[in-house]
Structure 1
Amino acid sequence: MTEKTMTIREMCDEFQVTARTLRFYEAKELLAPVRIGQKRLFTKADRGRLKLILRGKRFGFSLEEIRQLLDLYDADKTGATQLEAFNKLGAARLEGLKAEREDLGKAIDELNNLLKWTKDQHAELTGSKAA
């Protein structure tokens, strides 16, 4: 039985990405679809890799970090090396995201305070009540 492949259009529809995105990942050697002339056919492995790429991008990993993790799987089919590397990289990224969240919370609080102050100042200057 032959493996089910998907065309570039099917991949775009399935993963909600553009053909340009898929070609970009192919150019960066993150994906390696089977080429038949100008036609690209994506295998189950390509689909799995794309899922990991998109998840990695959502978490804020660089393409190079994603490539390293994917390459580790190719080197050790058990996945143990990849899992260990992901745990280290993921823990560091999680700490970074937590710090960003804290900074964002402070910025939101500061902006809320500034907006309240400007509304109060405007009301004072115009003689109207602050909303």
Structure 2
Amino acid sequence: MPETRLNFKEMCAKFDVTPRTLRYYEYIELLTPDREGRARFYGPRELARMTLILRGRRFGFALEDIRQWLLIYEHEGTEAQMRAWLKLADKQLAELTEQQTQIEEAITELQALRDETAASIG
């Protein structure tokens, strides 16, 4: 079965990212497509990495954290990468929980102020 390869435009469309984003991910060495002349081609490795990058971004991880995590797999293997993932996930869960608390407090305060204002104007 032939290896799946996407060109630059196909990669942007598949992952719904801008060309600028894709070029930036290459610039900071998150992705390393095959090059043939000026054309770029993304194989299974790059597709998997892009999936992980976007998942990490959705969870709020910094690109540098994602880059370091991907490097662990290349240099130390799966188990080391999973251990690093657990540490990153625990840290991010704590940060998201704190943000959630702050948002809930802001909603409560805003609702109270809104209700006071509505009551004052009749």
TM-score range, shorter chain: over 0.9
In structure 1, what is the equivalent of residue 12 of structure 2? 12
Deviations along 1:15-54, one digit per CA (max 9) or x if unpaired, are 1111111101000111000111111100100011111111
In structure 2, what is the equivalent of residue 127 of structure 1? none
Equivalent AA in structure 1 for residue 111 of structure 2 = N
Distance 1:106 1:67 in 2: 34
Distance 1:12 1:76 in 2: 30
Distance 1:68 1:14 in 2: 24
Percent identical: 41
How far off is 1:12 after superposition? 1.3
In structure 1, what is the equivalent of residue 32 of structure 2? 32
TM-score w.r.t. structure 2 length? 0.95
TM-score w.r.t. structure 1 length? 0.89
State the superposition RMSD in angstroms.
1.1
Counterparts of residues 53-92 of structure 1 (less than 5 Å): 53-77=53-77, 79-92=78-91
In structure 2, what is the equivalent of residue 115 of structure 1? 114
Secondary structure of the corresponding residue to residue 73 of structure 1: helix
Distance 1:76 1:5 in 2: 27
Q: Give the gaps of 5 or more residues in structure 2.
A: none
In structure 1, what is the equivalent of residue 47 of structure 2? 47
Larger Rg over CA atoms? 1
Distance 2:4 2:101 in 1: 45
Distance 1:109 1:2 in 2: 56
1:101 aligns with 2:74: no
Secondary structure of the corresponding residue to residue 41 of structure 1: strand
Distance 1:82 1:115 in 2: 48
Distance 1:10 1:76 in 2: 32
How far off is 1:76 after superposition? 2.8
Distance 1:23 1:46 in 2: 13
Distance 1:34 1:20 in 2: 18
